[in-house]
Structure formats: C-alpha cells, structure tokens
DNA sequence: CGTTGACGTAACAGTAGTTGTTACAACGGA
DNA sequence: TCCGTTGTAACAACTACTGTTACGTCAACG
C-alpha cells in the first residue's frame, strides 16, 4: 500500500508539544518541531493545520506566535489523530463499476463494503488504545 | 492514504473463481475474470500471480489453460488475501531519521513501532473473520 | 508436428498522493 | 513601524496504482 508517514509525523509533533508543555514552554513553533522531526517547517504547519481543524491544537499568529495543545496529551488518542490526518477509506472499491450482468460483479461492492468498514473500525479501536501521552512516555523511556 | 483496489480486485477474482467452480467450470481465464471485474486481463494476471505465490491459486499454461483455486473458498480468508497482495506496512515511520539529540526524536520510532504492529494485527484479525466463500455468498444475495 | 489459445512479463503513459522546498502575503505583539 | 511566525500557493521529485500494448513461452489438440 502507499504507506505514508503522516500519522508518524503528527504523533511526533503532538508528543513534542506535550514535552514542551511539561518543560514550561508556552507555545511551540513549527521550526522547533521540524528540527526534532527532521523535516521542513511547512510540512509541520500543513499537518498541524489538519489537527487544528480536528480541534486537537490551536495556533496563534503574529510575533511570539506558535502552536499549543488544546487538550491534555492523555486525552488525545491516536485514533483521533488518525482520523484527522487520514481522510479517506483504507480500501478502495473498483475504480470502474464491475459488470452488473455478472452475479458476482453485481453484488460484490455491497458484500465488501461492510467488511471494509469492520476492518477499519478494528484498526481505529486498536489505535484508540494509545494516547499522545503514551507515545511521549514510551519515547522518553527508550534506551 | 493512498487507498488502492488491490484487495477488492483479488477478492472479486477469487469469488468469481469460486462461482465458476460451483457451476462446473474447470478453469477460469484472466479474460473471463477481467470481464466481470471490468478491467484489463493483464491486471488480473498480475494480481493472480501474487496469489499464486501465496499458494491460493494455481495456473496452467498452453491451450485450454487458465486459473484454479488451490483451496476451498471457505478456507481462504481475506486476511490471507490481504497479506498476499499488500506487502509492506500500513504506516511508515519517518522518511529521514528524526533528531537523535531530541528526547522525543530519539525514542519515537521505538514507541510507535509496537503501536503500529498491534494496529495492523487488529486489522488482519478482523479481515480473517471473512472468507472468499462469505464474499461470494453475500454477493449472490445482494438485491 | 504445427496451430492455437492463454499465460508471463516487460515497457510505457496517465493519474494521484506524499514529501520537501521556495516564496510571499497576513497577522499581531513589542 | 518592525519583526517573527503562521497560512498558503506553487512547484519539483518521487513513488505507487491502473490500464494498455506487445511479445515470448508454453502445452493441448487436431
């Protein structure tokens, strides 16, 4: 699959913001986060913008501006982060509609849709068992 | 995510082969399957080739050639099909290694790896609850 | 023993999404 | 007013998926 690192970068950014907060930092700039992630600040701003739409973070503009968590790291699950940064479905149905005159082609989409929904639900449920605070804690305790 | 239709096409092809078998057909050709899926026969051959490597189907060459299931449709789960057609991991870690001098950057990959493994395991477990026979049966019973 | 039908596979184009980058307008505190 | 940061557009490079054409290879069958 076209695996991407969007969830990884988003989780990294949120964990960094959680640590920054714990160290007394008021706001985090995209440049600071990008320095930890090792990427370009614009990449961080784009991703954090999606997290802001989901209500997970907020931003301030102007001088001394930056980003802040809107909720406690313990209350932000990776399932919410996943939903914020991965819009579409995990599995696509046929690009072109299958042959409706074939019994299989006629019913296959209706057969697969609930299967895919259940599979995605299982994925999200498992992601929901880990919070940003968990990710931060595990990161800090790594050898 | 870069959602693709590989699992959909593979499940469709296997279900079609199951129905063909049930109707007394010996082998299925990539052209017949492509006609039901509404795509090009080469797309089918490429995908079935991966399913053959996984031991799910077999092919015969020469005149009167084609494809056959190697196992009963009831015994082929979508988890196996998924494993056969989706090689890599669902979530990628950082493209470039994060900043090791940052506490978060240093430990984040070790923190996320087991989270991603558990999430994928949950996805596969749920896919494992549906077989090719289930897909065929649900397709045939669609209105 | 050649014909024939289908597989196996390479090669290519078009499309789309991700990632990184530069550039610049907009904003707001000092 | 100045300056640092966000917000966003635009672009290139890369990768993956999908569809397509082309052609070599194989094995059954007349």
The answer to whether residue A1 sits within a structural domain is no
Residue-by-residue pLDDT tens, chain B, 143 positions: 679 999 999 999 999 999 999 999 999 999 999 999 999 999 999 999 999 999 999 999 877 899 999 999 999 999 999 999 998 999 999 999 999 999 999 999 999 999 999 999 999 999 999 999 999 999 999 98
Write out chain A's pLDDT in tens, 143 residues: 779 999 999 999 999 999 999 999 999 999 999 999 999 999 999 999 999 999 999 999 877 899 999 999 999 999 999 999 998 999 999 999 999 999 999 999 999 999 999 999 999 999 999 999 999 999 999 98
One DSSP character per residue, B77-141 reads: BHHHHHHHH--S-SB---SS---TTSHHHHHHHHHHHHHHHHHHHHHHHHHTT-BHHHHHHHHHT
CB-closest option in B39, B110, B119 to A127: B119
Give the model's pLDDT for residue B25: 93
In a domain, B68, yes or no: yes
In tens, the pLDDT along A4-38 reads: 999 999 999 999 999 999 999 999 999 999 999 99
Instruction: Tell me which chain B residue has its CA closest to the CA of residue A105.
Output: B36
Domain assignment present for residue A109? The answer is: yes
Q: Provide the domain limits for residue B33.
A: 6-88+131-140
**Is residue B24 assigned to a domain?**
yes
Tell me the C-alpha distance between B63 and B108, whole Å.
56
pLDDT of residue B63: 73
Interface contact B36-A122, CB threshold 8 A: no
Query: Under an 8 A CB cutoff, do B135 and A112 touch?
Result: yes
Kindly state the DSSP code that residue A54 receives in the 8-state scheme: T
The answer to whether the CB of A48 falls within 8 A of the CB of A13 is yes
Confidence (pLDDT) at A78:
98
Q: What is the pLDDT of residue B2?
A: 78
Q: Is residue A89 part of a domain?
A: yes
Tell if the CB–CB gap between A94 and B8 is shorter than 8 Å: yes
Look at phi and psi of residue A101 and say left if phi exceeds 0, alpha if psi is from -120 to 50, else beta: alpha
Cα distances from A69 to residues A65, A78, A82, B54, B138, in angstroms, run 14, 14, 16, 46, 45
Question: What total of structural domains would you count in chain A?
Answer: 1
Smallest CA–C1' separation from A5, nucleotide:
C18
CATH of the domain at A60: 1.10.10.10
- Answer yes or no: is B1 within a domain: no
| A41 in any annotated domain | yes
* Contact criterion met (CB below 8 Å) for A72 and B99: no
User: Residue A18: what pLDDT?
Assistant: 98
Question: Is B78 part of any domain?
Answer: yes
Q: Look at residue B79 in the predicted model and tell me its pLDDT.
A: 98
Element (H, E) at B6: helix B6-22
Closest-approach residue (CA) in chain A for B9: A94
């Amino acid at each position: 699959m076209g695996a991407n690192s969007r969830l990884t970068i988003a989780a990294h950014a949120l964990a960094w913001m959680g640590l920054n907060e714990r160290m007394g930092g008021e706001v985090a700039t995209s440049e600071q986060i990008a320095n930890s992630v090792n990427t370009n600040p614009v990449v961080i701003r784009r991703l954090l913008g999606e997290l802001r739409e989901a209500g997970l973070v907020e931003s301030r503009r102007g001088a001394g501006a930056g980003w802040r968590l809107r909720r406690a790291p313990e209350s932000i699950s990776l399932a919410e982060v996943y939903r914020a940064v991965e819009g579409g479905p995990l599995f696509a149905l046929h690009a072109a509609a299958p042959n409706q005159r074939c019994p299989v082609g006629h019913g296959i989409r209706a057969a697969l849709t609930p299967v895919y929904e259940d599979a995605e639900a299982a994925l999200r449920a498992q992601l929901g068992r880990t919070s940003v605070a968990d990710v931060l804690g595990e990161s800090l305790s790594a050898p």
